[in-house]
């Protein structure tokens, strides 16, 4: 940024409920503070400036305009934001070369390295530190994982109703009382060397006696034509991020579980005309959510699938829906498609560590959250199961306690104290 020689006027489009927008806005403001002579940042709240958002074809937030010919979607690490602001180009290749060339600081040595700062990882950090283990939490994206994108959480004990982002802020603050959370620290490689695990990140290499994977899961795509083409321009996986864009307009929500119905209710409350499309003949969501959908009068199409998403080359205009019962296909006009059809595990690191996976790609664990490899544990959505916050928290704490037990009395050695349950 110190080498910047030309004027830059980054403009970040945001909405009030977007959990990722504050981070992107802060990056722009920090650049303006650092170089007030050449950087002037503007944060645009879309709900108050719909015409400006439409002029720049903003279909998802945060949406950042770095210049006339360069824009970016989503929250970016601060380092990447600065590079793209200065170069007005995609920073992937530059940052990749920089990471490869960097030697990094001396490895930080800990007892337990926790990968992921969602409910499982944060609870594990608390329990590990309280047990006497030195620990570090490594997070490549925003703290909180999928929960931060949930508009309202109503089934976590102690909170009758709380925004997902707020709940994760409380958890993170608690975890920070015990251990360090390293952000922008995506683990790019992991290997076991001389009895320790070496985890390489852009922030340096961390050396640990044991590793806990709490990398969660990503939203599952539909795989329908037009989905990739209009992602960020009407196709969204985050109703709390993008719902405000469609106030007074039409949207469809695809799915039939808790997430889909929560998204539909959130959109309805924002003033979005909402229709749920579900491929089965009944919802899988909690009865409380089903009752709320019925009470709010949200339209539902059962036994139906979105087979194509169409648009005008700039934004979504309709979906083609197949009625599986009737065997017919019809076009349904819509301004947005919110997809909530399940998750796929973020298992790249698990594969690098050669862990046993089940048929769905989730990490196989025993009842104490031990994986097929000694001193490697997994917890949360990465292990499949109910995909609930409360189970992720319990699995994270159990995994940390198992690590504490194993590092003192290894179950894989004769006479050790743990129960490997087949592992």
Q: Same domain, yes or no, for 118 and 209? A: yes
Q: Does 247 score more than 60 pLDDT? A: yes
- Classify residue 73: in a domain, yes or no: yes
Residue 21 annotated in active site: no
Q: What is the pLDDT of residue 98?
A: 62
**For residue 371, what pLDDT band results from cuts at 50, 70 and 90?**
very high
- Classify residue 292: in a domain, yes or no: yes
pLDDT by residue (tens digit) across 305-345?
Answer: 999 999 999 999 999 999 999 999 999 999 999 999 998 99
User: What is the residue range of 385's domain?
Assistant: 108-218+343-408
Q: What is the pLDDT of residue 367?
A: 96
Residue 18 annotated in active site: no
Q: Same domain, yes or no, for 202 and 131? A: yes
- Classify residue 229: in a domain, yes or no: no
pLDDT above 90 covers what percent of the chain? 75
Which of 339, 356, 391 lies at the terminal end of a domain, its last residue? 339
Q: What is the pLDDT of residue 102?
A: 53
Q: Does 417 score more than 80 pLDDT? A: no
Query: Which residues, including other chains, have CB under 8 Å from residue 317's CB and lie 6 or more apart?
Result: 310, 311, 333, 334, 335
**For residue 165, what pLDDT band results from cuts at 50, 70 and 90?**
confident
Longest dimension (CA), the chain: 70
Q: Does 123 score more than 60 pLDDT? A: yes
Q: What is the three-state SS of 308-374? A: EEEECCCCEEEEEEEECCCCEEEEEECCEEEECCCEEECCHHHHHCCCCECCCCCECCCCCCECCCC
Q: Same domain, yes or no, for 213 and 125? A: yes
- Classify residue 272: in a domain, yes or no: yes
Q: Does 350 score more than 80 pLDDT? A: yes
Q: What is the pLDDT of residue 103?
A: 44
Residue 376 three-state SS? strand
Q: Same domain, yes or no, for 205 and 265? A: no
Domain harbouring 258, CATH code: 3.50.50.60
Q: Same domain, yes or no, for 335 and 350? A: no
Q: Does 368 score more than 90 pLDDT? A: yes
Domain harbouring 64, CATH code: 3.40.30.10
173 and 117 Cβ atoms separated by less than 8 Å: no
Mean pLDDT, residues 204-228: 96
Q: Does 408 score more than 90 pLDDT? A: no
Q: How many domains does the chain have?
A: 3
> What are φ and ψ of residue 181, in 5° steps?
-105, 120
Q: What is the pLDDT of residue 95?
A: 64
The one catalytic residue in 18, 31, 238, 381 is 238
- Classify residue 127: in a domain, yes or no: yes
pTM of the model: 0.73
Q: What is the pLDDT of residue 126?
A: 98
Q: What is the pLDDT of residue 99?
A: 55
Q: What is the pLDDT of residue 421?
A: 42
Length of the chain: 423
Q: Same domain, yes or no, for 114 and 96? A: no
**For residue 423, what pLDDT band results from cuts at 50, 70 and 90?**
very low
pLDDT by residue (tens digit) across 124-139?
Answer: 999 999 999 999 999 9
- Classify residue 317: in a domain, yes or no: yes
Mean pLDDT, residues 54-63: 90
For the chain, what is the mean pLDDT?
91
Distance from C-alpha of 70 to C-alpha of 42, rounded to nearest angstrom: 16
Which of 70, 101, 132 lies at the terminal end of a domain, its last residue? 101
Q: Same domain, yes or no, for 50 and 187? A: no
Residue 242 annotated in active site: yes
The one catalytic residue in 18, 21, 31, 241 is 241
Q: What is the pLDDT of residue 33?
A: 96
**Which residue in 37, 47, 43 sits closest to 1, CA to CA?**
37
Say which residue, 416 or 286, is predicted with more confidence. 286
- Classify residue 413: in a domain, yes or no: no
The one catalytic residue in 242, 263, 335, 406 is 242
**Which residue in 110, 92, 111 sits closest to 186, CA to CA?**
92
- Classify residue 93: in a domain, yes or no: yes
Write out the E strands in 84-216. Answer: 108-115, 135-138, 180-182, 187-193, 196-201, 204-213
Q: Same domain, yes or no, for 119 and 91? A: no
Q: What is the pLDDT of residue 359?
A: 94
């Amino acid at each position: 940024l110190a080498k910047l020689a030309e004027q830059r006027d980054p403009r970040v489009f945001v909405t009030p409920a977007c959990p990722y927008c504050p981070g992107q806005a802060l990056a722009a403001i920090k650049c303006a503070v650092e170089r007030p002579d050449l950087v002037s940042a503007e944060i645009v709240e879309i709900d108050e400036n719909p015409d400006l958002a439409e002029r720049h074809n903003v279909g998802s937030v945060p949406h950042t305009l770095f210049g006339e010919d360069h824009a970016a979607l989503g929250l970016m690490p601060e380092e990447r934001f600065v590079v793209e602001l200065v170069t007005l180009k995609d920073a992937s290749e530059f940052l990749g070369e920089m990471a490869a060339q960097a030697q990094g600081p001396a490895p930080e040595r800990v007892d337990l390295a926790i990968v992921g700062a969602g409910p499982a990882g944060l609870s594990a950090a608390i329990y590990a530190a309280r047990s006497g283990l030195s620990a570090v939490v490594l997070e490549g994206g925003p703290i909180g994982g999928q929960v931060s994108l949930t508009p309202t959480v109503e089934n976590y004990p102690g909170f009758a109703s709380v925004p997902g982002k707020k709940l994760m802020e409380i958890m993170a603050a608690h975890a920070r009382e015990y251990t360090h959370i390293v952000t922008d620290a995506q683990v790019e490689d992991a290997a076991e060397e001389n009895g320790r695990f070496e985890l390489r990140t852009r922030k340096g290499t961390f050396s640990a006696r044991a590793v806990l994977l709490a990398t969660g899961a990503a939203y599952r795509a539909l795989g329908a034509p037009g989905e990739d083409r209009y992602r960020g321009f009407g196709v969204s996986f985050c109703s709390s991020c993008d719902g405000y864009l469609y106030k007074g307009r039409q949207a469809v929500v695809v799915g039939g579980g808790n997430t889909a119905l929560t998204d539909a209710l959130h959109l309805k409350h924002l003033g979005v005309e909402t229709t749920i499309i579900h491929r089965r003949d009944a919802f899988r969501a909690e009865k409380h959510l089903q009752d709320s959908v019925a009470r709010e009068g949200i339209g539902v199409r059962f036994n139906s699938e979105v087979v194509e998403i169409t648009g005008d080359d700039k934004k979504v205009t309709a979906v083609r829906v197949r009625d599986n019962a009737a065997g017919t296909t019809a076009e349904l006009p819509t301004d947005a498609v919110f997809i909530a059809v399940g998750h796929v595990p973020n298992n790249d690191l698990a594969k690098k560590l050669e862990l046993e996976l089940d048929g769905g790609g989730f990490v196989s664990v025993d009842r104490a959250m031990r994986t097929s490899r000694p001193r490697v544990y997994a917890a949360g959505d990465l292990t499949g199961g109910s995909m609930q916050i409360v189970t992720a928290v319990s699995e994270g704490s159990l995994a940390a306690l198992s690590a504490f037990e194993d590092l003192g009395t290894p179950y894989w050695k004769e006479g050790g104290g743990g129960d490997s349950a087949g592992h």
